[in-house]
């Protein structure tokens, strides 16, 4: 590509350029060309540094929004982890507990970097505000949808899954806004995907979201994840997929933090391609004694 042009006019007094003059002009042109190349490289380096600084800031914002305190409700154990990609997306998870209830939420904000991190901050503040008034998860998603719709650009949206567990009822209520379905593994080993879903948050105003309910008791395990988990690609172009995730879960036991670590190790071994292209986020909720009955006991009590 041409970066500059050196024009030479006739000599004063006429006559052709001498050899030494031509050599001087060629040398001058080479110096100018080198300066232009260095200037272009400096611009690229500054752009790269600015991008790296932006991504570091985005990750600091994102990680600062994630919960650090574990719930204290009896009969429940919970662990979440988000592993950022090179581009730092908008993966988000959170939880909030009351005296007898636990809310868990996981989502994925569209976009990368600072814009995604800022929308994630809006989402977190909105979530912690709207759950103060008790109501079904579907109604909470409806209010969050309106907030995101009114306070974000038209090309931004959020996938979100929200669950509410009441320890006394041994029942998990949940609603989804276009998020990958979590996997519920029963105490007997059977895995049930929570397929019910709805439209993403922020795409349209005044949307209704349906609340669903399913028994959740001692020995049950709920695994929520973002699409960076199931869509991790190996060197053959194959995705890790929900099926492989379910197969990994079928052979895993232990505490939620151990399950998360083992799943991330399985994903890394599957991809074997270095840095992931998207964030990977996992949230594992486990029912354990005391405080929760088995689903069969809970159904028999009603």
pLDDT average, residue stretch 132-140: 91
**Tokens linked to 47:** 């752009």
Banded model confidence at residue 259, pLDDT cuts 50, 70, 90? very high
- CB 271 within 8 Å of CB 232: yes
Higher pLDDT pick, 174 / 69: 174
Q: Is the pLDDT of residue 46 over 60?
A: yes
Q: Burial-class residue 122 by CB neighbours within 10 Å (0-12, 13-18, 19+).
A: middle
CA 156 → CA 8, 28, 153, 278, distances in Å?
54, 51, 6, 17
Task: Name 162's bridge partners.
Answer: 105, 175
Q: How far apart are CA 226 and CA 43, in angstroms?
A: 36
C-alpha–C-alpha distance, residues 136 and 264, integer Å: 32
pLDDT class for 194, splitting at 50, 70, 90? very high
Better-predicted residue by pLDDT, 243 or 98: 243
Whether 281 contacts 219, CB under 8 Å: no
pLDDT at 268: 87
Q: pLDDT grade, residue 300 (50/70/90)?
A: very low
State the Cα torsion 214-215-220-222 to the nearest 10°.
20
What is the three-class DSSP state of 40?
helix
> Across residues 123-149, what is the average pLDDT?
92
- pLDDT above 50 for 164: yes
Q: Are 256 and 285 in contact (CB under 8 A)?
A: yes
CA angle (196, 101, 128) in 5-degree steps: 80
- CA pair distance 57, 84, nearest whole angstrom: 13
What value does the mean pLDDT take over residues 241-258? Answer: 90
Whether 8 shows a pLDDT value over 50: the answer reads yes
Q: Distance between CA atoms of 132 and 204, rounded to whole angstroms?
A: 24
Beta bridge partners of 222: 184, 285
For the chain, the average pLDDT equals 82
Report pLDDT for 52: 66
Q: Strands 191-193 and 76-83: what pairing?
A: unpaired
Spatial distance between the Cα atoms of 301 and 175, rounded to a whole number of angstroms: 25
* Range 271-284 average pLDDT: 77
pLDDT band at 176 (very low <50, low <70, confident <90, very high): very high
Q: What is the mean pLDDT of residues 143-162?
A: 92
301 has a pLDDT exceeding 50 = no
How much is the average pLDDT of 74-88?
80
Q: What pLDDT sits at residue 233?
A: 87
Report pLDDT for 237: 86
Cα separation, 280 vs 86, in Å, equals: 11
* Cβ contact 121:97 at 8 Å: no
Report the run of H or E that residue 115 belongs to, with start and end.
Answer: helix 113-130
CATH of domain 66-301: 3.60.40.10
Please give the average per-residue pLDDT across 68-73, as a whole number. 80
Percent of the chain at pLDDT > 90 equals 35
Amino acid 11: pLDDT: 65
The residue among 139 and 233 whose pLDDT is bigger is 139
Query: What's the mean pLDDT in 26-54?
Result: 70
> Structural domain boundaries of the chain?
66-301
Q: Helix, strand, coil proportions of the chain in percent (round to 5)?
A: 40, 25, 40
Q: How far is CA 150 from CA 153, 201, 278, 286, in A?
A: 8, 11, 27, 36
Least confident window among 19-33, 146-160, 181-195, 244-258:
19-33
């Amino acid at each position: 590509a041409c970066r500059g042009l050196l024009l030479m006019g006739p000599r004063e007094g006429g006559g052709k350029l001498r050899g030494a003059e031509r050599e001087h002009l060629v040398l001058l042109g080479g110096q100018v060309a080198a300066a232009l190349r260095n200037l272009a490289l400096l611009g690229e380096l500054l752009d790269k540094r600015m991008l790296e600084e932006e991504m570091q800031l985005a990750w600091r914002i994102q990680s600062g929004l994630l919960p650090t305190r574990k719930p204290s409700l009896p009969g429940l154990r919970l662990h979440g982890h988000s592993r950022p990609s090179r581009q730092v997306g908008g993966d988000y998870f959170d939880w909030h507990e009351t005296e007898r209830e636990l809310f868990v939420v996981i989502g994925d904000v569209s976009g990368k970097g600072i814009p995604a991190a800022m929308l994630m901050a809006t989402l977190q503040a909105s979530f912690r505000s709207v759950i103060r008034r008790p109501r079904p998860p579907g109604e909470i998603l409806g209010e969050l949808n309106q907030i995101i719709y009114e306070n974000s650009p038209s090309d931004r949206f959020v996938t979100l899954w929200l669950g509410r567990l009441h320890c006394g009822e041994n029942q998990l209520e949940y609603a989804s806004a276009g998020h990958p379905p979590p996997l519920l593994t029963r105490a007997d080993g059977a895995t049930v995907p929570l397929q019910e879903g709805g439209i993403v948050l922020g795409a349209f105003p005044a949307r209704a979201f349906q609340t669903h309910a399913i028994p959740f008791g001692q020995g049950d395990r709920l695994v929520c994840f973002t699409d960076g988990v199931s869509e991790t690609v190996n060197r053959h172009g194959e995705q890790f997929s929900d099926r492989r995730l379910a197969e990994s879960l079928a052979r895993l036991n232990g505490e939620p933090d151990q399950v998360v670590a083992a799943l991330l190790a399985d994903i890394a071994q599957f991809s074997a391609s270095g840095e992931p292209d998207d964030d990977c986020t996992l949230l594992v909720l486990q029912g354990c004694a005391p405080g929760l009955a088995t689903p069969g006991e809970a159904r028999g009590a009603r």
